Amino acid sequence: MICILLVAGHGTVLETQIKNDDTGLYGHLTGVPKALLPGIGGKKILDFWWETVNMRQLFTEVYLVTNADKYKHFERWATANDFPVENVVNDGSTTLEDQLGAVADLELVIRSRKLQDDIMVIAGDMLCADQNFDIAQVIRFFRSKPGELAIYYELEEGEKSSSRGIVEVCPDTHRITRFLEKPQEGLTASRLASVVFYCLRKNTLPCLSEFLSLQPQAQDRSFGQFWEWLINEKQLHVFGMKLPTGFQLIGQVGLSDYTKWLTHYSAKKQGNPAKPITCRSYARAGLMGNPSDGFHGKTIAMTISNFWAEVTLVESQILVLLPHPLNDPTEFGSLQDLFCISRKEGYLGGLRLLQATCKKFYQFCSKQGIALTKQNFTLKYDTNIPRQVVRISAIVSATLKCLMKFYNITDSDLPKPIRANFILNVETDELFITAGLQDRVVQVYEGLVYMDFSKQLMEERGYGEYVSIDMKNLPTFWLAYLSDPSDSGRIHSNVRQRWLSGEPLVVEAMKTFAELTDQARTALEEGDWTRLAQLMDQNFELRRSVYTDDCLGPGNLKMVQLARQFGSAVKLPGSGGAVVGLCLDQERLVEMRQAFQEAGCVFCTIIPYDPSASAASSQQEPHHD
């Protein structure tokens, strides 16, 4: 592949304003080409792009095309920066009136140097908010697609689409379906702005000459008009790749705009590295319908602030995953100590979850056409979620939140329904953990969530119907768990095989779970807590009939029996080792709490996590009775 840097524009507005500036701040920049003006961190704008593309393993040659008026400036720059002077191409223009136009400048280099290869073209006078994106990732994505590639970014607040080339991109294929050069307001809802950063296949290069023959005037030879013609009229396959950062082409902008964007981007660069990113995800309690989430059923679950997983990301020179001192032990007091810890906690801590999430995140972004910056970080995690309440998805969810913030990945890049699928795929594809979508959905949406995983929805769009339920005036739920956790895999047993084989008992049970969930949603919305308690008991009995007592385990059954002695509704909130209940008699609730504690169980009153509540509520400490 060959890279061509375009710096042939005549920046008359900016150059004139610098020349006439009476503040004395910019006098030293008089006559300096736009691409050689200071960029982020004081580095020349062109220096950044040359450092980015100066990679022999990626590009066989790099060319730079400029005009006759500024040729000597770039010749001197080339000598000082080890850029091959013979690769600086002079287009012969000296003024704005006799300029060739951006597309003609590109075609000049290709024709005069007889280039026959794929081409990457970049505007060398373009400010980039992030100085570390991975250009190799751009090339890999280009080569994975059967067509051309155009880079775009999401407009920042305050940027008008009428000042940019706007692309409409198919989210599934990443093909650009329409290109609009500086569209009028209301013509498109897209906020995705194309920049002068493209990849062209060698077989498409003749289109440049064809376009130029149709546009004899230099002002009509912009790349925006070229892509409009290539995409909208010729219907060529052009794909889009998003860079999660901002760009500003300083071509015909004035001094105030140049200094504004330079200050804005510099401030963002200075503000990001030092500030750690900390994200929490909360444990969940399945109130109804589980475990039918893995069987095209329906469930209701809520996040609880008693238990959380917290991940912290800090930018660093190399990528580091820090083990947790308790959950990822590497030192032991003795062989007996190792034996006791391993027998109780197992061998699988949280470090593998961080690693698997990072791997899957990079894979997802590469596939989705999102070029990540070459920034490294250190990740560490903490959690107070007992294994019995299931901590895995919470750690993965919190890690994903940190990565999205660090790399500026938006909700439109990774929508909530797809995010839940992502978390599940980390567990099932990378770690081979048997799991359903319920936990992942409620941890992404947060709060009290109704979930419909019907086969039709899952097959048609890949995710279910997820509806948030008002959490105001909820009754007091409680949670209890065994001090010795059980294994999720054993609890699920052979039910999946029986369901896949069409066993009537299992198939009908999953349908009934869905029906109970719909009734529970009505009870929650109407505040009918007595009915909700009845449905929770029915949920447990239905699960018991399918999974059998041997599969549920004596510990779980003991907790259920104990709760029922005090007239409380009770069911399993997840895989096993814990129970969730609803006791409407507050005096009996106090007595029940004491009974559970005397039985050696941990008992707590659930504190629902409502995402609409104040930020202070999310920092509440675990509440144990």
Provide the sign of the torsion angle of the four alpha carbons 357, 363, 364, 366, taken in this order. positive
Q: For residue 455, with 0-12 CB atoms within 10 Å meaning exposed, 13-18 middle and 19 or more buried, which class applies?
A: exposed
* DSSP classification of residue 323: P
Question: Helix H segments across 189-294?
Answer: 206-214, 223-227, 255-271
Q: In whole angstroms, what is the distance from residue 294 CA to residue 230 CA?
A: 46
Q: In whole angstroms, what is the distance from residue 344 CA to residue 326 CA?
A: 12
- Tell me if 262 sits within 8 A of 127, measured CB to CB: yes
Marked catalytic residue, from 130, 293, 382, 439: 439
- Tell me if 151 sits within 8 A of 138, measured CB to CB: yes
Q: In whole angstroms, what is the distance from residue 290 CA to residue 287 CA?
A: 8
Annotation says 257 is catalytic? no
Q: Given its phi and psi angles, is residue 567 left (phi above 0), alpha (psi -120 to 50 degrees) or beta?
A: left
Closest by Cα among 513, 105, 6 to 295: 513
Q: In whole angstroms, what is the distance from residue 396 CA to residue 401 CA?
A: 9
Give 361-407 as a 3 state SS string. Answer: HHHHHHHHCECCECCEEEEEEEECCCHHHCCHHHHHHHHHHHHHHHC
Q: In whole angstroms, what is the distance from residue 10 CA to residue 7 CA?
A: 9
- Tell me if 488 sits within 8 A of 573, measured CB to CB: no
Residue 319 makes CB contacts below 8 A (sequence gap 6+) with 358, 376, 377, 378
Closest by Cα among 218, 613, 291, 211 to 451: 291
Q: In whole angstroms, what is the distance from residue 145 CA to residue 117 CA?
A: 16
Residue 554 makes CB contacts below 8 A (sequence gap 6+) with none
Active-site residues, by number, are: 439
